[in-house]
A and B are shown apart, each in its own frame.
Chain A
Amino acid sequence: MSRISLTVGRPSIASRRGMAIPCVLILGWIVVGSTGLVDRHFLVPFQRVVTVPFLDPDGRTVWLGLAASLARMVAGFAIGAGAGALLGFAMGLSRFGNRLIGPSFTAVRQVTVFAWIPLLTAWFGNGEEAKLVFVALAALFPMALNTQQGLRDVPVAYRELASVLRLSPRRRFTRVLLPSALPSIVVGIEIALISAWIGTVGAEYAMGFGRGVGIFLVQGREQFRMDIVIVGVIALAVVGYLINATFRSLLARWVPWRGNPS
Protein backbone atom coordinates (compact mmCIF):
# COMPACT_ATOMS: atom_id res chain seq x y z
CA MET A 1 0.00 0.00 0.00
CA SER A 2 1.60 3.23 -1.04
CA ARG A 3 1.12 6.56 0.61
CA ILE A 4 -1.45 8.88 -0.83
CA SER A 5 -0.70 12.54 -0.89
CA LEU A 6 -3.63 14.85 -0.51
CA THR A 7 -3.93 18.42 -1.51
CA VAL A 8 -6.02 20.50 0.80
CA GLY A 9 -8.35 22.56 -1.33
CA ARG A 10 -11.51 24.53 -0.93
CA PRO A 11 -14.62 23.73 -2.95
CA SER A 12 -14.66 25.91 -6.01
CA ILE A 13 -16.19 26.07 -9.46
CA ALA A 14 -13.27 24.02 -10.66
CA SER A 15 -14.10 21.20 -8.23
CA ARG A 16 -17.71 21.20 -9.41
CA ARG A 17 -16.44 20.28 -12.85
CA GLY A 18 -15.96 16.82 -11.37
CA MET A 19 -19.75 16.45 -11.45
CA ALA A 20 -19.84 16.70 -15.24
CA ILE A 21 -18.89 13.10 -16.06
CA PRO A 22 -21.33 11.45 -13.59
CA CYS A 23 -24.14 13.68 -14.87
CA VAL A 24 -23.47 12.79 -18.50
CA LEU A 25 -23.25 9.08 -17.65
CA ILE A 26 -26.53 9.12 -15.73
CA LEU A 27 -28.22 11.02 -18.54
CA GLY A 28 -26.94 8.48 -21.08
CA TRP A 29 -28.12 5.68 -18.81
CA ILE A 30 -31.64 7.14 -18.60
CA VAL A 31 -31.80 7.64 -22.37
CA VAL A 32 -30.48 4.17 -23.27
CA GLY A 33 -32.66 2.52 -20.63
CA SER A 34 -35.86 4.15 -21.83
CA THR A 35 -35.27 3.33 -25.50
CA GLY A 36 -35.15 -0.39 -24.73
CA LEU A 37 -32.03 -0.85 -26.89
CA VAL A 38 -30.39 -2.96 -24.21
CA ASP A 39 -31.83 -5.98 -22.42
CA ARG A 40 -33.33 -4.81 -19.11
CA HIS A 41 -31.60 -7.68 -17.34
CA PHE A 42 -28.19 -6.30 -18.17
CA LEU A 43 -28.90 -2.62 -17.79
CA VAL A 44 -31.77 -1.87 -15.49
CA PRO A 45 -33.41 1.52 -15.92
CA PHE A 46 -31.99 4.29 -13.79
CA GLN A 47 -35.38 5.01 -12.22
CA ARG A 48 -35.55 1.45 -10.93
CA VAL A 49 -32.16 1.71 -9.21
CA VAL A 50 -33.37 4.85 -7.46
CA THR A 51 -36.56 3.26 -6.15
CA VAL A 52 -35.31 -0.26 -5.30
CA PRO A 53 -33.68 0.62 -1.93
CA PHE A 54 -36.99 2.10 -0.75
CA LEU A 55 -39.82 0.13 -2.42
CA ASP A 56 -38.52 -3.34 -3.23
CA PRO A 57 -38.69 -5.84 -0.30
CA ASP A 58 -35.33 -7.37 -1.27
CA GLY A 59 -33.83 -3.96 -2.09
CA ARG A 60 -34.77 -2.52 1.28
CA THR A 61 -32.38 -4.90 3.06
CA VAL A 62 -29.52 -2.77 1.73
CA TRP A 63 -29.95 -0.44 4.71
CA LEU A 64 -29.63 -3.25 7.24
CA GLY A 65 -26.69 -4.61 5.31
CA LEU A 66 -25.04 -1.21 5.22
CA ALA A 67 -25.51 -0.76 8.96
CA ALA A 68 -24.07 -4.21 9.66
CA SER A 69 -21.11 -3.60 7.34
CA LEU A 70 -20.35 -0.20 8.85
CA ALA A 71 -20.48 -1.60 12.38
CA ARG A 72 -18.15 -4.42 11.31
CA MET A 73 -15.78 -1.98 9.63
CA VAL A 74 -15.65 0.36 12.64
CA ALA A 75 -15.01 -2.49 15.08
CA GLY A 76 -12.36 -4.12 12.90
CA PHE A 77 -10.76 -0.77 12.14
CA ALA A 78 -10.58 0.15 15.83
CA ILE A 79 -8.76 -3.08 16.66
CA GLY A 80 -6.51 -3.09 13.60
CA ALA A 81 -5.63 0.60 13.50
CA GLY A 82 -5.03 0.64 17.27
CA ALA A 83 -2.62 -2.27 17.02
CA GLY A 84 -1.11 -0.80 13.86
CA ALA A 85 -0.48 2.54 15.55
CA LEU A 86 1.23 0.79 18.46
CA LEU A 87 3.44 -1.18 16.09
CA GLY A 88 4.19 1.96 14.10
CA PHE A 89 5.21 3.90 17.21
CA ALA A 90 7.33 1.00 18.41
CA MET A 91 9.15 0.83 15.06
CA GLY A 92 9.31 4.58 14.49
CA LEU A 93 10.43 5.73 17.92
CA SER A 94 12.92 3.11 18.95
CA ARG A 95 15.79 1.71 16.96
CA PHE A 96 15.56 -1.44 19.04
CA GLY A 97 11.84 -1.74 18.28
CA ASN A 98 12.50 -1.34 14.59
CA ARG A 99 15.21 -3.99 14.57
CA LEU A 100 13.01 -6.34 16.57
CA ILE A 101 9.69 -5.93 14.73
CA GLY A 102 10.66 -4.39 11.38
CA PRO A 103 11.83 -7.50 9.47
CA SER A 104 8.85 -9.66 10.50
CA PHE A 105 6.46 -6.82 9.77
CA THR A 106 7.91 -6.27 6.31
CA ALA A 107 7.75 -9.99 5.52
CA VAL A 108 4.14 -10.45 6.68
CA ARG A 109 3.09 -7.25 4.89
CA GLN A 110 4.03 -8.78 1.54
CA VAL A 111 1.16 -11.27 1.84
CA THR A 112 -1.83 -9.95 -0.09
CA VAL A 113 -4.48 -9.35 2.50
CA PHE A 114 -7.05 -11.58 0.75
CA ALA A 115 -4.65 -14.50 0.97
CA TRP A 116 -5.38 -14.52 4.70
CA ILE A 117 -9.00 -15.59 4.14
CA PRO A 118 -8.43 -19.39 3.89
CA LEU A 119 -6.23 -19.32 6.97
CA LEU A 120 -8.66 -17.19 8.97
CA THR A 121 -11.69 -19.27 8.06
CA ALA A 122 -9.76 -22.38 9.08
CA TRP A 123 -8.97 -20.83 12.45
CA PHE A 124 -12.10 -18.83 13.20
CA GLY A 125 -14.80 -20.36 10.99
CA ASN A 126 -17.08 -18.34 8.74
CA GLY A 127 -18.62 -16.27 11.48
CA GLU A 128 -18.13 -12.78 12.82
CA GLU A 129 -14.71 -13.39 14.41
CA ALA A 130 -13.05 -14.31 11.16
CA LYS A 131 -14.47 -11.23 9.45
CA LEU A 132 -13.40 -8.94 12.27
CA VAL A 133 -9.87 -10.33 12.31
CA PHE A 134 -9.69 -9.90 8.56
CA VAL A 135 -10.87 -6.28 8.70
CA ALA A 136 -8.43 -5.62 11.52
CA LEU A 137 -5.57 -7.05 9.46
CA ALA A 138 -6.57 -4.91 6.48
CA ALA A 139 -6.41 -1.78 8.67
CA LEU A 140 -3.29 -2.75 10.61
CA PHE A 141 -0.67 -2.64 7.85
CA PRO A 142 -1.32 0.81 6.36
CA MET A 143 -1.70 2.29 9.85
CA ALA A 144 1.56 0.81 11.12
CA LEU A 145 3.45 1.68 7.97
CA ASN A 146 2.35 5.32 7.82
CA THR A 147 2.95 5.86 11.52
CA GLN A 148 6.44 4.43 11.24
CA GLN A 149 7.26 6.40 8.10
CA GLY A 150 5.96 9.63 9.58
CA LEU A 151 8.19 9.24 12.63
CA ARG A 152 11.18 8.10 10.63
CA ASP A 153 10.84 11.07 8.27
CA VAL A 154 10.98 13.70 11.03
CA PRO A 155 13.63 16.05 9.63
CA VAL A 156 17.09 15.82 11.19
CA ALA A 157 16.89 19.60 11.62
CA TYR A 158 13.98 19.20 14.06
CA ARG A 159 15.69 16.37 15.92
CA GLU A 160 18.80 18.52 16.34
CA LEU A 161 16.67 21.41 17.53
CA ALA A 162 15.10 19.16 20.18
CA SER A 163 18.61 18.19 21.32
CA VAL A 164 19.89 21.76 21.40
CA LEU A 165 16.83 22.85 23.40
CA ARG A 166 17.35 19.82 25.70
CA LEU A 167 13.69 18.81 25.52
CA SER A 168 12.69 15.94 27.78
CA PRO A 169 11.77 12.69 25.97
CA ARG A 170 8.10 13.37 26.63
CA ARG A 171 8.20 16.94 25.31
CA ARG A 172 10.36 15.83 22.41
CA PHE A 173 7.55 13.45 21.48
CA THR A 174 4.61 15.79 22.01
CA ARG A 175 6.21 18.99 20.69
CA VAL A 176 8.40 17.72 17.86
CA LEU A 177 8.04 14.08 16.77
CA LEU A 178 4.26 13.63 16.91
CA PRO A 179 3.27 16.89 15.17
CA SER A 180 5.90 16.30 12.52
CA ALA A 181 4.60 12.78 11.89
CA LEU A 182 0.93 13.78 12.12
CA PRO A 183 0.24 14.34 8.39
CA SER A 184 1.54 10.88 7.60
CA ILE A 185 -0.40 9.38 10.51
CA VAL A 186 -3.66 11.03 9.39
CA VAL A 187 -3.13 9.69 5.88
CA GLY A 188 -2.48 6.31 7.52
CA ILE A 189 -5.83 6.50 9.30
CA GLU A 190 -7.55 7.32 6.05
CA ILE A 191 -5.92 4.49 4.10
CA ALA A 192 -6.61 2.13 7.01
CA LEU A 193 -10.31 3.12 6.97
CA ILE A 194 -10.63 2.64 3.23
CA SER A 195 -8.72 -0.60 3.47
CA ALA A 196 -10.99 -1.72 6.34
CA TRP A 197 -14.03 -0.90 4.21
CA ILE A 198 -12.72 -2.90 1.25
CA GLY A 199 -11.79 -5.66 3.69
CA THR A 200 -15.26 -5.67 5.24
CA VAL A 201 -17.03 -6.08 1.93
CA GLY A 202 -14.43 -8.55 0.69
CA ALA A 203 -14.77 -10.69 3.82
CA GLU A 204 -18.55 -10.68 3.54
CA TYR A 205 -18.35 -11.54 -0.13
CA ALA A 206 -15.87 -14.37 0.39
CA MET A 207 -17.17 -15.83 3.66
CA GLY A 208 -20.92 -15.20 3.36
CA PHE A 209 -23.28 -15.60 6.31
CA GLY A 210 -25.08 -12.87 8.20
CA ARG A 211 -25.78 -9.40 6.90
CA GLY A 212 -23.68 -6.88 5.03
CA VAL A 213 -23.30 -5.05 1.76
CA GLY A 214 -21.02 -7.81 0.49
CA ILE A 215 -23.67 -10.42 1.19
CA PHE A 216 -26.31 -8.17 -0.36
CA LEU A 217 -24.17 -8.13 -3.50
CA VAL A 218 -23.78 -11.92 -3.53
CA GLN A 219 -27.53 -12.37 -3.22
CA GLY A 220 -28.20 -9.87 -6.00
CA ARG A 221 -25.80 -11.71 -8.29
CA GLU A 222 -27.24 -15.15 -7.47
CA GLN A 223 -30.80 -13.99 -8.15
CA PHE A 224 -29.60 -12.16 -11.26
CA ARG A 225 -31.00 -8.89 -9.90
CA MET A 226 -28.88 -6.24 -11.63
CA ASP A 227 -30.77 -3.47 -9.84
CA ILE A 228 -29.72 -4.85 -6.47
CA VAL A 229 -26.13 -5.34 -7.56
CA ILE A 230 -25.94 -1.75 -8.75
CA VAL A 231 -27.48 -0.46 -5.52
CA GLY A 232 -24.85 -2.42 -3.59
CA VAL A 233 -22.03 -1.03 -5.71
CA ILE A 234 -23.32 2.51 -5.23
CA ALA A 235 -23.48 1.96 -1.45
CA LEU A 236 -19.82 0.88 -1.52
CA ALA A 237 -18.79 3.90 -3.53
CA VAL A 238 -20.69 6.37 -1.34
CA VAL A 239 -19.06 5.10 1.85
CA GLY A 240 -15.62 5.20 0.24
CA TYR A 241 -16.22 8.72 -1.00
CA LEU A 242 -17.40 9.88 2.42
CA ILE A 243 -14.28 8.48 4.10
CA ASN A 244 -12.14 10.33 1.60
CA ALA A 245 -14.00 13.63 1.92
CA THR A 246 -14.00 13.49 5.73
CA PHE A 247 -10.27 13.05 5.79
CA ARG A 248 -9.58 15.90 3.46
CA SER A 249 -11.31 18.26 5.83
CA LEU A 250 -9.77 16.61 8.90
CA LEU A 251 -6.30 16.94 7.43
CA ALA A 252 -6.93 20.59 6.67
CA ARG A 253 -8.10 21.20 10.22
CA TRP A 254 -5.54 19.16 12.14
CA VAL A 255 -2.55 19.95 10.00
CA PRO A 256 -3.15 23.55 8.95
CA TRP A 257 0.56 24.19 8.42
CA ARG A 258 0.62 21.64 5.63
CA GLY A 259 0.49 23.25 2.23
CA ASN A 260 2.15 26.27 3.83
CA PRO A 261 5.67 24.95 4.20
CA SER A 262 7.59 27.74 5.87
Chain B
Amino acid sequence: MRATNLLDIRAVSKTYIVDDEPVEVLRNIHFTVAEEEFVTVIGESGCGKSTLLRLIVGLDIGYCGDILLDGTRIAAPGRDRGIVFQDHRLLPWLSVEQNVALGLDASDESPAAVKQAVAANLDLVKLADFGRAYPHQLSGGMAQRAAIARALVAKPRILLLDEPLGALDSQTRAYLQDELLRIHQRGKVTMVMVTHDIEEAVYLSDKIVVMEPRPGRVRGIVPVELPHPRNRAAADFIAVKERVLASLVNGPPLCFDAAPKSRPIVPDGRARRFG
Protein backbone atom coordinates (compact mmCIF):
# COMPACT_ATOMS: atom_id res chain seq x y z
CA MET B 1 0.00 0.00 0.00
CA ARG B 2 1.23 3.47 -0.71
CA ALA B 3 2.46 5.40 2.26
CA THR B 4 0.69 8.53 1.09
CA ASN B 5 -2.72 7.19 2.12
CA LEU B 6 -2.49 7.67 5.86
CA LEU B 7 -6.15 7.14 6.69
CA ASP B 8 -8.40 4.85 4.73
CA ILE B 9 -12.08 4.74 5.58
CA ARG B 10 -13.79 1.82 3.87
CA ALA B 11 -17.49 1.04 3.91
CA VAL B 12 -17.91 2.25 7.47
CA SER B 13 -21.38 1.94 8.96
CA LYS B 14 -22.53 2.56 12.49
CA THR B 15 -25.84 1.83 14.18
CA TYR B 16 -26.83 2.79 17.70
CA ILE B 17 -29.61 1.24 19.68
CA VAL B 18 -31.93 3.87 21.15
CA ASP B 19 -34.90 2.62 23.19
CA ASP B 20 -34.48 -0.85 21.65
CA GLU B 21 -34.72 0.63 18.15
CA PRO B 22 -31.72 0.54 15.86
CA VAL B 23 -30.79 4.01 14.60
CA GLU B 24 -28.45 4.11 11.65
CA VAL B 25 -25.98 6.95 12.11
CA LEU B 26 -23.44 6.24 9.40
CA ARG B 27 -23.97 4.29 6.20
CA ASN B 28 -21.22 3.08 3.93
CA ILE B 29 -18.73 5.90 4.43
CA HIS B 30 -15.76 5.98 2.09
CA PHE B 31 -12.89 8.39 1.82
CA THR B 32 -9.16 8.56 2.20
CA VAL B 33 -6.83 11.07 3.77
CA ALA B 34 -3.33 11.41 2.39
CA GLU B 35 -0.26 12.17 4.46
CA GLU B 36 -0.11 15.87 5.39
CA GLU B 37 -3.50 16.48 3.84
CA PHE B 38 -6.08 18.79 5.47
CA VAL B 39 -9.52 17.24 5.05
CA THR B 40 -12.74 18.72 6.35
CA VAL B 41 -15.95 16.80 6.81
CA ILE B 42 -18.97 19.02 6.43
CA GLY B 43 -22.68 18.46 6.87
CA GLU B 44 -25.67 19.58 8.86
CA SER B 45 -26.09 18.37 12.42
CA GLY B 46 -27.21 14.78 12.67
CA CYS B 47 -25.15 13.64 9.70
CA GLY B 48 -22.88 11.64 11.97
CA LYS B 49 -19.72 13.61 11.36
CA SER B 50 -18.78 13.75 15.04
CA THR B 51 -19.56 10.05 15.37
CA LEU B 52 -17.14 9.43 12.53
CA LEU B 53 -14.38 11.26 14.43
CA ARG B 54 -15.17 9.25 17.57
CA LEU B 55 -14.70 6.08 15.53
CA ILE B 56 -11.40 7.31 14.09
CA VAL B 57 -10.04 8.33 17.49
CA GLY B 58 -11.01 4.93 18.87
CA LEU B 59 -13.59 5.94 21.49
CA ASP B 60 -16.13 3.64 19.90
CA ILE B 61 -14.93 0.51 18.20
CA GLY B 62 -18.25 -1.15 17.44
CA TYR B 63 -18.59 -0.33 13.75
CA CYS B 64 -18.86 -2.15 10.46
CA GLY B 65 -16.31 -1.73 7.72
CA ASP B 66 -12.71 -0.71 8.18
CA ILE B 67 -10.94 2.39 9.37
CA LEU B 68 -7.31 1.84 8.51
CA LEU B 69 -4.54 4.03 9.81
CA ASP B 70 -1.37 3.17 7.95
CA GLY B 71 -3.00 -0.10 6.99
CA THR B 72 -3.97 -1.12 10.54
CA ARG B 73 -7.58 -1.33 11.65
CA ILE B 74 -8.38 1.04 14.51
CA ALA B 75 -9.40 -0.80 17.66
CA ALA B 76 -8.57 1.60 20.50
CA PRO B 77 -7.33 5.13 21.18
CA GLY B 78 -3.66 5.49 20.39
CA ARG B 79 -0.77 7.87 20.45
CA ASP B 80 -0.89 8.13 16.66
CA ARG B 81 -4.14 10.12 16.87
CA GLY B 82 -4.86 13.35 18.72
CA ILE B 83 -8.26 14.99 19.05
CA VAL B 84 -9.52 18.48 19.83
CA PHE B 85 -13.14 18.64 20.93
CA GLN B 86 -15.55 21.53 20.44
CA ASP B 87 -15.43 22.21 24.17
CA HIS B 88 -11.75 22.50 25.02
CA ARG B 89 -12.00 19.93 27.84
CA LEU B 90 -9.04 21.32 29.72
CA LEU B 91 -9.17 20.02 33.27
CA PRO B 92 -9.90 23.05 35.47
CA TRP B 93 -7.79 21.75 38.37
CA LEU B 94 -4.61 21.53 36.30
CA SER B 95 -2.51 24.38 34.97
CA VAL B 96 -2.15 24.79 31.22
CA GLU B 97 1.26 23.09 31.38
CA GLN B 98 -0.12 20.15 33.33
CA ASN B 99 -3.04 19.86 30.95
CA VAL B 100 -0.73 19.73 27.95
CA ALA B 101 1.59 17.28 29.71
CA LEU B 102 -1.39 14.97 30.15
CA GLY B 103 -1.05 14.28 26.42
CA LEU B 104 2.22 12.49 27.19
CA ASP B 105 1.05 10.89 30.44
CA ALA B 106 0.77 7.42 28.93
CA SER B 107 4.17 7.63 27.25
CA ASP B 108 7.37 6.49 28.90
CA GLU B 109 9.24 9.66 28.14
CA SER B 110 11.49 11.19 30.79
CA PRO B 111 10.19 14.17 32.80
CA ALA B 112 12.74 16.39 31.08
CA ALA B 113 11.60 15.29 27.65
CA VAL B 114 7.97 15.86 28.61
CA LYS B 115 8.80 19.31 29.89
CA GLN B 116 10.59 20.16 26.69
CA ALA B 117 7.77 18.85 24.50
CA VAL B 118 5.20 20.79 26.52
CA ALA B 119 7.20 24.00 26.18
CA ALA B 120 7.69 23.48 22.44
CA ASN B 121 3.99 22.90 21.85
CA LEU B 122 2.89 25.81 24.01
CA ASP B 123 5.27 27.86 21.93
CA LEU B 124 3.72 26.49 18.75
CA VAL B 125 0.25 27.66 19.82
CA LYS B 126 1.67 30.95 21.15
CA LEU B 127 0.87 30.25 24.79
CA ALA B 128 4.48 30.11 26.01
CA ASP B 129 3.75 32.71 28.70
CA PHE B 130 0.60 31.00 29.96
CA GLY B 131 1.93 27.63 31.09
CA ARG B 132 1.28 28.41 34.75
CA ALA B 133 -2.19 29.83 34.13
CA TYR B 134 -5.36 27.89 34.87
CA PRO B 135 -8.04 27.23 32.26
CA HIS B 136 -10.55 29.63 33.79
CA GLN B 137 -8.04 32.43 33.31
CA LEU B 138 -7.91 31.86 29.55
CA SER B 139 -10.20 33.20 26.85
CA GLY B 140 -12.13 30.71 24.72
CA GLY B 141 -9.63 30.98 21.87
CA MET B 142 -6.64 30.54 24.17
CA ALA B 143 -8.24 27.52 25.82
CA GLN B 144 -8.79 25.96 22.41
CA ARG B 145 -5.15 26.60 21.50
CA ALA B 146 -4.07 24.89 24.72
CA ALA B 147 -6.28 21.95 23.75
CA ILE B 148 -4.54 21.84 20.36
CA ALA B 149 -1.15 21.79 22.13
CA ARG B 150 -2.35 18.90 24.31
CA ALA B 151 -3.46 16.96 21.24
CA LEU B 152 -0.18 17.62 19.42
CA VAL B 153 2.27 17.05 22.26
CA ALA B 154 2.45 13.29 21.68
CA LYS B 155 3.29 13.93 17.99
CA PRO B 156 0.26 12.14 16.52
CA ARG B 157 0.26 11.07 12.87
CA ILE B 158 -3.15 12.63 12.49
CA LEU B 159 -4.97 15.42 14.31
CA LEU B 160 -8.75 15.16 14.54
CA LEU B 161 -10.67 18.36 15.10
CA ASP B 162 -14.32 18.17 16.14
CA GLU B 163 -15.72 21.64 15.37
CA PRO B 164 -12.95 23.16 17.45
CA LEU B 165 -13.86 26.70 16.47
CA GLY B 166 -17.62 26.28 16.63
CA ALA B 167 -18.06 27.97 20.00
CA LEU B 168 -15.84 30.99 19.31
CA ASP B 169 -16.70 34.49 18.13
CA SER B 170 -16.05 35.22 14.47
CA GLN B 171 -12.88 37.29 15.00
CA THR B 172 -11.21 34.65 17.17
CA ARG B 173 -12.41 32.09 14.71
CA ALA B 174 -10.74 33.76 11.74
CA TYR B 175 -7.54 34.15 13.74
CA LEU B 176 -7.53 30.51 14.80
CA GLN B 177 -8.20 29.35 11.26
CA ASP B 178 -4.94 30.99 10.23
CA GLU B 179 -3.24 29.48 13.28
CA LEU B 180 -4.48 26.02 12.29
CA LEU B 181 -3.08 26.50 8.79
CA ARG B 182 0.23 27.67 10.19
CA ILE B 183 0.42 24.65 12.55
CA HIS B 184 -0.58 22.36 9.69
CA GLN B 185 2.14 23.68 7.43
CA ARG B 186 4.85 24.02 10.06
CA GLY B 187 4.23 20.75 11.85
CA LYS B 188 3.44 18.73 8.71
CA VAL B 189 0.45 17.29 10.58
CA THR B 190 -2.34 15.50 8.80
CA MET B 191 -5.64 17.00 9.88
CA VAL B 192 -9.25 15.87 9.68
CA MET B 193 -11.67 18.53 10.80
CA VAL B 194 -15.41 18.37 11.26
CA THR B 195 -17.28 21.61 10.72
CA HIS B 196 -20.61 22.95 9.57
CA ASP B 197 -19.13 26.16 8.21
CA ILE B 198 -18.66 25.97 4.43
CA GLU B 199 -16.37 28.98 4.23
CA GLU B 200 -14.15 27.56 6.94
CA ALA B 201 -13.93 24.26 5.08
CA VAL B 202 -13.00 25.93 1.79
CA TYR B 203 -10.54 28.27 3.49
CA LEU B 204 -8.66 25.51 5.28
CA SER B 205 -8.81 22.24 3.49
CA ASP B 206 -7.37 20.37 0.54
CA LYS B 207 -10.46 18.22 0.29
CA ILE B 208 -14.02 18.55 1.53
CA VAL B 209 -16.13 15.50 2.35
CA VAL B 210 -19.77 16.53 2.09
CA MET B 211 -22.15 14.44 4.18
CA GLU B 212 -25.92 14.19 4.31
CA PRO B 213 -27.93 13.24 7.38
CA ARG B 214 -30.19 10.41 8.54
CA PRO B 215 -28.38 8.18 8.03
CA GLY B 216 -25.02 9.88 7.60
CA ARG B 217 -23.73 9.26 4.10
CA VAL B 218 -21.06 10.81 1.92
CA ARG B 219 -22.82 12.89 -0.68
CA GLY B 220 -19.71 14.00 -2.46
CA ILE B 221 -16.06 14.88 -2.21
CA VAL B 222 -14.95 18.31 -3.36
CA PRO B 223 -11.25 18.88 -3.91
CA VAL B 224 -10.05 22.41 -3.16
CA GLU B 225 -7.13 23.24 -5.40
CA LEU B 226 -6.53 26.82 -4.39
CA PRO B 227 -3.11 28.08 -3.30
CA HIS B 228 -2.60 29.40 0.25
CA PRO B 229 -3.14 32.03 1.51
CA ARG B 230 -6.68 31.95 0.22
CA ASN B 231 -8.77 35.00 -0.41
CA ARG B 232 -12.33 34.55 0.76
CA ALA B 233 -13.55 37.17 -1.70
CA ALA B 234 -11.84 35.73 -4.79
CA ALA B 235 -14.01 34.37 -7.56
CA ASP B 236 -12.49 30.88 -7.54
CA PHE B 237 -12.93 30.68 -3.74
CA ILE B 238 -16.60 31.55 -4.10
CA ALA B 239 -16.95 29.06 -6.94
CA VAL B 240 -15.75 26.23 -4.69
CA LYS B 241 -18.08 27.43 -1.95
CA GLU B 242 -20.97 27.29 -4.38
CA ARG B 243 -20.07 23.75 -5.40
CA VAL B 244 -20.01 22.62 -1.77
CA LEU B 245 -23.25 24.41 -1.05
CA ALA B 246 -24.92 22.88 -4.08
CA SER B 247 -23.97 19.37 -3.10
CA LEU B 248 -24.92 20.05 0.51
CA VAL B 249 -28.41 21.33 -0.19
CA ASN B 250 -30.01 19.14 -2.80
CA GLY B 251 -27.66 18.58 -5.67
CA PRO B 252 -26.88 15.13 -7.03
CA PRO B 253 -23.90 13.34 -5.55
CA LEU B 254 -20.69 14.66 -7.06
CA CYS B 255 -17.59 12.67 -7.95
CA PHE B 256 -18.70 9.85 -5.75
CA ASP B 257 -15.98 7.35 -4.94
CA ALA B 258 -16.55 3.95 -6.45
CA ALA B 259 -17.89 2.29 -3.33
CA PRO B 260 -18.13 -1.40 -2.72
CA LYS B 261 -21.42 -2.73 -1.48
CA SER B 262 -22.21 -1.98 2.12
CA ARG B 263 -21.76 -4.76 4.60
CA PRO B 264 -24.77 -5.74 6.69
CA ILE B 265 -25.37 -3.37 9.53
CA VAL B 266 -25.17 -5.10 12.86
CA PRO B 267 -26.57 -3.36 15.90
CA ASP B 268 -23.81 -3.21 18.39
CA GLY B 269 -24.82 -2.43 21.90
CA ARG B 270 -25.59 0.53 24.06
CA ALA B 271 -27.07 3.80 22.93
CA ARG B 272 -24.67 6.70 23.00
CA ARG B 273 -24.43 10.25 21.91
CA PHE B 274 -25.06 11.20 18.34
CA GLY B 275 -22.70 13.49 16.57
Separation of A171 and B106 alpha carbons in the complex (Å): 9
Separation of A198 and B248 alpha carbons in the complex (Å): 65
A71 CB to closest chain B CB (Å) equals 35
B274 CB to closest chain A CB (Å) equals 13
Separation of A261 and B90 alpha carbons in the complex (Å): 11
Cβ contact within 8 Å between A175 and B105: yes
Residue on A nearest B57 in the bound complex, by CB: A164
Separation of A157 and B90 alpha carbons in the complex (Å): 10
Residues of B at under 8 Å CB distance from A?
A: 57-59, 77-79, 83, 85, 87, 89-94, 102-103, 105-106, 134-136, 138, 143, 273
Which chain A positions have C-beta within 8 A of B273? 156
- Residue A167 lies at the interface, judged by CB distance under 8 Å to chain B: yes
Max chain A CB contacts within 10 Å: which of B79, B93, B138?
B93
Separation of A262 and B103 alpha carbons in the complex (Å): 20
Name the interface size band of chain A.
20 to 34
Separation of A164 and B76 alpha carbons in the complex (Å): 9
Cβ contact within 8 Å between A257 and B105: no
Render A139-180 as a binary contact track against B, CB cut-off 8 A, 1 for contact: 000000000000000001110110111111001000110011
Cβ contact within 8 Å between B91 and A167: no
From B57, B77, B102, B138, A262 is in contact (CB under 8 Å) with B138
Cβ contact within 8 Å between B136 and A165: no
Which chain B positions have C-beta within 8 A of A156? 273
Separation of A221 and B77 alpha carbons in the complex (Å): 68
Max chain A CB contacts within 10 Å: which of B57, B85, B102, B138?
B102
A-B contact pairs, 22 of them (CB 8 A): A158-B91, A160-B59, A163-B77, A164-B59, A164-B77, A165-B105, A166-B77, A166-B105, A167-B106, A175-B91, A175-B105, A179-B91, A180-B93, A182-B93, A257-B92, A257-B134, A260-B92, A260-B136, A261-B136, A262-B92, A262-B135, A262-B136
5 A-B pairs closest in CB distance: A257-B92, A262-B136, A260-B136, A166-B106, A179-B93
Which chain A positions have C-beta within 8 A of B103? 165
Residue on A nearest B272 in the bound complex, by CB: A156
From A157, A167, A260, B102 is in contact (CB under 8 Å) with A167
Which chain A positions have C-beta within 8 A of B143? 262
A154 CB to closest chain B CB (Å) equals 11
Which chain B positions have C-beta within 8 A of A168? 105-106
Which chain B positions have C-beta within 8 A of A165? 77, 102-103, 105-106
From A157, A175, A260, B89 is in contact (CB under 8 Å) with A157
Beyond A160-B59, A165-B102, A165-B105, whether A261 also contacts B78 by CB under 8 A is no
Cβ contact within 8 Å between B102 and A175: yes
Separation of A163 and B85 alpha carbons in the complex (Å): 13
Residue on B nearest A178 in the bound complex, by CB: B93
Residue on B nearest A260 in the bound complex, by CB: B136
Which chain A positions have C-beta within 8 A of B94? 175
Separation of A180 and B91 alpha carbons in the complex (Å): 9
Cβ contact within 8 Å between A164 and B136: no
Given A157-B89, A165-B105, 7 extra CB contacts under 8 A: A161-B85, A165-B102, A166-B78, A175-B105, A260-B136, A261-B136, A262-B134
Cβ contact within 8 Å between A157 and B87: yes
Which chain B positions have C-beta within 8 A of A167? 102, 105-106
Separation of A165 and B90 alpha carbons in the complex (Å): 12
Which chain B positions have C-beta within 8 A of A160? 59
Residue on A nearest B273 in the bound complex, by CB: A156
